[in-house]
Chain A
């Protein structure tokens, strides 16, 4: 079984630029999560999808972050415009409807200069 795929693995941009991350969850996993992991901290949930609907985006900075999962499979997370404090690893995870544990992708390391 293929794991959660993410791209790109690394991205360096200047502040005020825009950036997008892509995630392909494990096949058949209806729930998809995006987390932000700042260096030295644990991951923090940004947004959670159930199929193509948002069920929790309470911690998403909506003035600059957006995410979509149009067909209930792949998802993209966008930041526009980026700030220095957005430098972090962005992790995507997915979960099967009948399970409890989440499976994580390798993450995208974003550096904003």
Chain B
């Protein structure tokens, strides 16, 4: 079965420190990979995507993600966390079968950045 795992319910980091939010997936073939962020009472906002090419992709608000095909992982990173980065982060994959770009989401990881 196709699935996405975000092994940490919550990640705590001090402001100014680097952060990593982990994501692994189980999807056949070469899926598209995405990160979205959700602030309270708001919809999901697109952060970044991996389609093909360089394994390190850069996105909005200084976030980047590293694709590792052998480990089927797509971890979200940021060199220096801000308190305003505190939110709920979702990893998602889009299987290419069927060609209609549906998204399969992980359960989400809550990022808490402390001053």
Count, A-B residue pairs, CB within 8 A:
58
Chain A min CB distance to B9 (Å): 9
CB neighbors of B among A13-63 (8 A): 31, 33, 40-45, 48, 50, 55-56
The A-contacting residues of B in range 64-111, CB under 8 angstroms, are 90, 92, 94, 98, 100-108
Q: Mark B35-54, 1 if CB is under 8 A from A, else 0.
A: 01000011111100101000
Q: CA A56 – CA B102 in complex, angstroms?
A: 9
- Report chain B residues within 8 Å CB of A41: 107-108
In the complex, B63 has a CB within 8 A of chain A: no
Judging by beta carbons under 8 Å apart, are B46 and A40 in contact? no
Please report the C-alpha to C-alpha distance between residue A16 and residue B89 in the assembled complex, in whole angstroms.
34
Nearest-neighbor residue (CB-CB) of A55 within chain B: B100
The answer to the question of A102 belonging to the interface, with a C-beta cut-off of 8 Å to chain B, is: yes
* Contact assessment for A42 and B101 in the assembled complex, using a CB-CB cutoff below 8 Å: no
In B2-60, the 8 Å CB interface with A consists of 4, 32, 34, 36, 41-46, 49, 51
Which residues of B have CB within 8 Å of A101?
A: 34, 46, 49
B101 to chain A: which residues have CB within 8 Å?
Answer: 31, 95, 100, 102
| With known contacts A106-B42, A107-B43, A45–B106 Cβ distance under 8 A | no
28 example contacts (A-B, Cβ-Cβ < 8 A) are as follows A33-B103, A40-B107, A41-B108, A42-B105, A42-B106, A43-B44, A43-B105, A44-B105, A48-B100, A55-B100, A56-B98, A56-B100, A56-B102, A91-B43, A95-B101, A100-B34, A100-B51, A100-B94, A100-B101, A101-B49, A102-B101, A103-B46, A104-B36, A104-B44, A105-B43, A106-B42, A107-B42, A107-B43
